[in-house]
Amino acid sequence: MQKVAVIMGSDSDLPVVEKAIACLKSFEVPFEVHVLSAHRTPNEAAGFSKNAREQGFGVIIAAAGKSAHLAGAIAANTTLPVIGIPIKSTALDGLDALLSTVQMPSGIPVATVAIDGAENAALLAVQILSLSDNSLALALGERREKAAAVVLEKNRLVEEKFNN
Ligand code: RP5
């Protein structure tokens, strides 16, 4: 199975990024985690991106806050799918990172999830890998069914309380 690369711009992003790591673990998807910065370690970020496909990665998740150029800088150096997680920072509540991550120029796509949307980033990565791995497709379907059962039970309790 291809690996998922989980890249963050700073170790201060880790509390959010850990939700993506936990999700990947739950699917038993192989992954690597790295701190690489578009601004502070640009050569290392570019080098990783250029070699990622031949290193066995299938998808790259890139999380960054503030002036968040990491996902775009990675996407500029690989044709692997790149998923951007805008990280909420204190000054502008993550809107800065959201706009920096999502507003990519035509030709260099970044699939951007919600601010701090680490779990969805991991799920999207698993969905991409499931195109060539039927066991992942089955596991994704089971997860959806379990999640729906939880909501249906909540609905039952609310209906019982208010509709009688
Ligand atoms: C971004 O700047 C990082 O992704 C992080 O979200 C933010 C702040 O980094 P630190 O100053 O906490 O290292 O590049």
Tens-place pLDDT, residues 71-129? 999 999 999 999 999 999 889 999 999 999 999 999 999 999 999 999 999 999 999 99
In this structure, the residue with its CA closest to atom 12 of ligand 1 is 12
What is the pLDDT, as a whole number, of residue 97? Answer: 98
Q: Distance, CA 163 to ligand 1 centroid (Å)?
A: 49
pTM of the predicted structure, to 2 decimals? 0.96
Pocket test for ligand 1, best of 8, 11, 12 (most atoms within 8 A of CB): 12
Pocket flag, ligand 1, residue 58 (CB < 6 Å): no
Mean pLDDT within 31-48: 98
Q: Are 29 and 40 in contact (CB under 8 A)?
A: no
**Cα of 15 from ligand 1 centre, angstroms:** 12
Query: Which pLDDT score, from 0 to 100, does residue 12 have?
Result: 98
pLDDT more than 70, % of the chain = 100
Mean pLDDT of the chain: 98
Residue 9 Cβ < 6 Å to ligand 1: yes
Q: Sign of the C-alpha dihedral, residues 11, 14, 20, 23? A: positive
